[in-house]
Amino acid sequence: MQNSAFSKSKATAPMHEAVVMGASAGGMRALKTILDALPRDFSLPVAIVQHVASHADSFMAEYLGRDAALVVKEAGDKEAMQAGHVYLAPPDYHLLLEEDKTFSLSVDARVNFSCPSIDVLFESAAESFGGAVIGVLLTGASADGSAGLKAIKKAGGLTIVQDPETAESPYMPQSALHALTPDHVLPLDQIAALLQRIAAKG
Asked about 24 being catalytic, the answer comes back as yes
Catalytic residue, from 16, 24, 85, 146: name it: 24
CB 193 within 8 A of CB 164: no
Is the omega angle on the peptide bond into residue 173 within 30 degrees of 0, that is, cis? no
Catalytic residue among 16, 51, 85, 94: 51
Strands 94-97 and 103-106: antiparallel
**Active-site entry in 94, 117, 128, 144:** 144
C-alpha to C-alpha distance for 53 and 70, rounded to whole angstroms = 25
- CA-CA distances (angstroms) from residue 19 to 2, 5, 45, 47, 175? 32, 28, 6, 6, 20
Tell me if residue 16 is catalytic: no
Catalytic residue numbers, as ranges:
24, 51, 144
